[in-house]
Structure 1
Amino acid sequence: MSTPAIDLLRDGFDRVRETATAAVQGLDDAALTHRVGPEANSIAWLVWHLARVQDDHVADVAGTEQVWTAAGWAGRFAVPFDEGAIGYGQSSDEVAAVRGIAADDLIGYLVDVHTATGRYLETLEDADLDRVVDEDWDPPVTLATRLVSVISDDLQHAGQAAFVRGLL
């Protein structure tokens, strides 16, 4: 369905994909895993994390399996974490463990997540955006709030990845 509200969400997710792809494209493992400080996040971790968050959160509200497992990305990336890990609260050592992933694979996973997100957005109507998806907060979180939150978080991480790339 296409409405101004759904189109706005689609535009936000498009910006995530575009910004993160530009930050990663053409980089080798040394650049992808470079950390500007001992506790800093690498481009590889930032883009892996933002894609994992989007995949996890959108699959949850859509009631679908995550692309991470459904399309075999968990096995291809072979990160040393539980299959359900999305990067939240990870230590500096865990950030350092996201390595050996080709730029094309980071982009491939991101694009697959973006495609799944787009398919979900196509099923929505404006009235769906008011649906409460998480009652553990006060006020409870609606679908609109959750999707905007994912866009916001992902764009911040994509910007961080672009900043690190600029420093390189």
Structure 2
Amino acid sequence: MNTIEQQLWDYIDGKLNESSKKAIEEKIESNAGIKAQYEELRELNSAFNALDLDEPSMSFTRNVMESIALAPAPVAMKTKVDKKIIYCIGGFFVLSLLSLLGYVIYNSTLSMPKFGFNTNLNFRVDQYITPTVLYSFLFFDLVVGLVFLDQFLRKKVAQK
């Protein structure tokens, strides 16, 4: 849009001050091209003013909200990985580690030095296993068993 057309629209809308308004009126009177353009813009403005604006119905918002509520909620995409691929990758790494361990064992010379001390492995069991130790061990096992039972029951309740 050029400046004269913008000035003509401002003149038609009544947005100009007095000095600019007089300058545009003089241009309209003196130039026939500007006068023809002014007449076209004034007719276009009157046609725009004659148009009736369409208003949505009273239940438009309710209808839109109901249609949105009926649409299924988007679900996050879940990618499915084939378990065979995971097993193949894991198998590759296990075989690699086993082959590396085998290579190291094959190329190493294993010799143990002789230690010059004698050990006496005869010891009395009843010296170490006293009733206090036995009761402590059973109490610890009971606590661990109750913790595992609690976790098991919580999983059962969560599944239902």
Please, what TM-score do these two structures have when normalized by structure 2? 0.17
Structure number with greater Rg is 2
Richer in helix (by share): 2
Please, what TM-score do these two structures have when normalized by structure 1? 0.16
Q: Which has the higher contact order (CA 8 A, sep 6+)?
A: 1
